[in-house]
Structure 1
Amino acid sequence: MDRKNAWKTYSPAQLQELEQTNEKYKSCLDAGKTERECIRLTVSMIEEKGYKSLDEVKKSNASLKPGDKVYAVCMDKSITIFNIGEQPLENGMNILGAHIDSPRIDVKQNPLYENEELAYLDTHYYGGIKKYQWVTLPLALHGVIAKKDGTIVEVNIGEKDEDPVFVITDLLVHLASKQLEKKANVVIEGEKLDLLFGSRPIEQNDDLDKEEKEAVKANIMKLLQEYYNMEEEDFVSAELEIVPAGSARDCGLDLSMIMAYGQDDRVCAFTSLFAMLDVEKVDRTACCILVDKEEIGSVGATGMHSRFFENVVAELVALSGNESELKVRRTLQNSKMLSSDVSAAYDPMFAEAFEKRSSAFFSKGLVFNKFTGSRGKSGSNDANAEYLAEIRNAMDAGEVAYQFAELGKVDIGGGGTIAYIMANYGMEVIDSGVAVLCMHAPWEVTSKADVYEAYKGYKAFLAIK
């Protein structure tokens, strides 16, 4: 089925709203390059709209009623947001779910070392990356240092014009004949992704007998002490993430696209958040889940496999005056969800990887995947036909441009989202999202039209009765 290019359908007013949505989206991408930053930004945005912390509601012994807006945060890396609807919770919720972690490079817990008067940070990459894409780029360092006294020190180096940036070096082409014979997955090995961190030795004492053996490392530690009151052992309780330095930018001479780091899956996360904030009175309770750890299997306390979401729903049921394990289970089973994650956009430069009739295309709207998984649908959620019909009806009613697709050719690969996890509750779930070029690369590309249609589509979904 051929879908119309969404750019051909917009009125001047819609084009204005499209640009406003995308400018806001770019600002969010710049402010939220890590999970913690995304959560901090989200909390500030939802509190401006009247959302209250669930912990505050519990402390005040208040009960929840239709129209109330609450949220709960897990370890500063995941959040669930609720707009309480007119219907009882046990009738189910309309849930938007996306993840806010992205492929990156993490700093190890014993990272700082000196080699031939160059200082490095030892690293471990996170998520599925092509390692060779991360060398010779300007890189930034984001994260926190947790000190023994309970102090949390925030780190953000490389984003301001006056900041230094960092780099992972590569072998010059003149000496790379052997390197270029290697397979792409080992051209750069994981242990060679160490971050070049400094090269200037510390100023020495006049007493040459006391000359520092690792003077460059000593100078780095002197600077870290000066800037962050940090000792070397504080690396043990630090979470430092290496991400591409630089802001989200318009892409293309026609300004029709966005190029930025972390659009998998923050393009779905932020458009879901925008939709949630723009919805006021709802019939069914509206929910937005932004979670961590999807890129490594949705594990841990802040991933979707955690019981955090289920526990929060139990709190909501209790605060609604209906505390009951059975009602919690009914609430979950009767819910409907869009598991929103990015889809692979058809790339004519690599057409051999795609089956064109089942591909997602730029500027043709929000993408739905009846199933994901790999090859024989392994690891997939497979949405019911009846639910697909309901989704189609909601999108058409909201005048949303949308398309249905799969992730590449059947036998080539595949992928998954958090959909199969939520489907364990027996709720209706379908994968949806935005088509992306260069997915999982340091810089990814989206269509502004698709960002706008995703926002419209998520609003239309939250209105389902």
Structure 2
Amino acid sequence: MGLMAASVCVAQQPGEGAGEVAAKSAWLTLTAGQKGEVMQFAEPYKDYLRHAKSAMLSEAELERLARGAGFAEYISAAQVKPGARLIIKNRGRAALFVVVGTDPIESGSRMVGSHEDSPHINLKSRPVIDAPGSMALLKTMPYGGIKRYQWANLPMALVGHIDTVDGRHIEVSIGFGAGEPVFVIADAAPHSDSQLRSRTYTTVFGGEEMNPVIGSIPGEKSTVAAEVMTALRARYKIHDEDLVSSELELVPATQPADVGIDGGLTGSWGQDDKLSAYTSVRALLDVKGTPKKTAMAYVTNFEETGSVNNTGAGSDFLDMAFTTLLDAQGKPATALGVRTAMRNAAVLSADCNDGVNPIFPGNSENSNSAVLGYGVTVKKYGAGFDPNSEFEARVLRVLDENHIAWQTQTPKVDVGGGGTIGGFLSRRNMEVLDIGIPLLSMHSTYEMSSKVDLWSYYRFMKAFYTME
């Protein structure tokens, strides 16, 4: 940990001299009462993760939490008035959560953007096939950056929905309930895998080999795959073609849990980046009263594949939402007015980042890499991807004034990198700073985050929403 000291900034505590910072774990800055608060804050987060097994399920859970905090779906301009708490929805896969401020939106706003999709495995349109060994398998496509070998020998659940041509919307969830079957990609046994041992780290499994078992019992006059399709038709009252108009994905059939005997870490699939989606919305729900500037949590989809499609950050949904809000504030929204509102918006692009790995520390550059337990990450990419220094200084002041632990992250040159939705927002002339908190085993089937980082992240977002 000592090697990391140069990159870590813990905000000065009362009584410390101006400009002094302590390069130490954020855990060591907590009072006994704050440590209890940190531990308690992680419990509803874990509950959210138990529900948010896909982007759509995450969206539904965030909306449920927001409605419980007094938010309502936007349906008319009459709702847009100071103090209003609104949800502008985008097809159930993305949304803008809004607390309307006293100032006109054109004069500026405070927004935290994140994404709620996570790496997983999708089904192909015609997924069920017969395979050697009297098995039926599911044909799949990887979604997002995954290491394929991590998904073998892993109990997986099937979640999503099927939309039928006769107008039915059928929810699918198999593998999380007690006694429900799971789906597993079969690895080769060490007794018979000599011809596979020359495969490299990233090619242990080929893309067309990521096929889990879905059935093993043949019929008297039919194959295993035919029996599986018969069972699916009967269970969901569908035709084979209905699988073409479905969104079905395989995710780990595990649940969130504490990691370590001290309970300082949360382990779960999908924390990148459901963690940022949850904290951004939760912080907005906890904003008290009516802020001066309109505060918004923008939750998007498809970031793991480039923020594509009409629910990704690359779509025009945000432009439409800003136009809607400006138009409702008493005058017709013009193209210039919308562009001015975006130009005056202050934005945090929130997304988790890779933390220093205790087993592979050489993958990180030790003076500028984020460490679990050291607080919020301020990301510095270089090459024109960073905000102007004036805006960054304003944001750092929020961290310092609220005594929130923070650190920096720059990927090791020529080793790797990252990026998220911030680029799509800065193209709209918004002021954008990329932030996050570090994870271990990022993009794996079971990621780990620090509870003190989660709590610091939430406190930062809540303070940012009311930043002057």
TM range (shorter): over 0.9
Match of 2:228 in 1: 220
Output aligned runs, 1:17-416, within 5 Å: 17-54=37-74, 56-58=75-77, 62-116=78-132, 117-202=134-219, 204=220, 211-212=221-222, 214=223, 216-280=224-288, 281-325=290-334, 326-371=336-381, 377=383, 381-407=385-411, 409-416=412-419
Identity %: 35
1:176-222 per-position Cα deviation (integer Å, ceiling 9, x unaligned): 223121112221000000121010123x4xxxxxx22x2x2232123
Partners in 1 of 2:203 and 2:398 — Cα distance?
47
Aligned partner of 2:15 in structure 1 is: none
Distance in 2 between the 1:336 and 1:28 partners?
27
Shift of 1:73: 1.5
Q: How many angstroms does 1:169 deviate by?
A: 0.9
**2: CA distance between counterparts of 1:179 and 1:321?**
68
Normalised by the size of structure 1, how large is the TM-score? 0.93
AA matched with 2:117? D
SS at match of 2:244: helix
Q: Distance in 2 between matches of 1:442 and 1:322?
A: 49
CA-to-aligned-CA distance 1:158-181 (integer Å, 9 cap, x gap)? 112211111011111122223121
Q: Do 1:381 and 1:430's aligned partners in 2 also have CA atoms closer than 8 Å?
A: no
Kept in 2, the 8 Å contact 1:139–1:245? The answer is yes
Deviation at 1:278?
0.2
The letter of the residue matching 2:392 is: L
Mapped contact 1:90–1:334 kept (Cα < 8 A): yes
What TM-score do the two structures reach when normalised by structure 2? 0.93
Aligned partners of 1:227 and 1:20: how far apart in 2? 40
**Which has the larger displacement, 218-227 or 166-175?**
218-227
2:332 counterpart letter in structure 1: E
State the AA in 1 paired with 2:324. Answer: E
Using the TM superposition, give the Cα deviation of residue 13 of structure 1 relative to its aligned residue in structure 2, in angstroms.
Answer: 2.2
Q: Tell me which amino acid in the other structure corresponds to 2:413.
A: V
How far, CA to CA, are the matches of 1:5 and 1:187 in structure 2? Answer: 37
Question: How far, CA to CA, are the matches of 2:228 and 2:40 in structure 1?
Answer: 43
Aligned residues: 445
Aligned partner letter, 1:321: G
Quote how far apart the aligned CAs of 1:63 are: 5.0
The CA deviation at 1:381 is 2.2
In 2, Cα distance between the equivalents of 1:362 and 1:7?
10
Alignment check: 8 A CA contact 1:107 1:124 kept:
yes
SS in 1 for 2:92: coil
Q: Which runs of 5+ in 2 are unaligned?
A: 1-5, 9-22
Farther off after superposition, 322-331 or 162-171: 322-331
Contact 1:371 1:383 in 2 (8 A): no
Contact 2:379 2:408 in 1 (8 A): yes
Question: What runs of 5+ residues in structure 1 fail to find an aligned partner?
Answer: 205-210
* Distance in 1 separating the partners of 2:199 and 2:103: 60
Structure 2: how far apart are the matches of 1:340 and 1:246?
25
Give the CA deviation at 1:348. 2.9
In structure 1, what residue type is equivalent to 2:136? Answer: A
* CA offsets 1:128-177 (integer angstroms, 9 cap, x no match): 11111110000010000101111100011111221111101111112222
Alignment partner of 1:122: what SS? strand
Please give the root-mean-square deviation of Cα atoms over the aligned residues, in Å: 1.3
Q: Is the 8 A contact 2:101 2:294 kept in 1?
A: yes
Is the 2:97–2:281 Cα contact (8 Å) retained in structure 1? no
Alignment partner, residue 464 of structure 1: 467
User: Structure 2 counterpart of 1:404, which letter?
Assistant: T
Residue 64 of structure 2 aligns to which amino acid in structure 1? S
Distance (Å, rounded) in 2 between the aligned partners of 1:132 and 1:179: 13
Aligned residue identity for 2:56: R
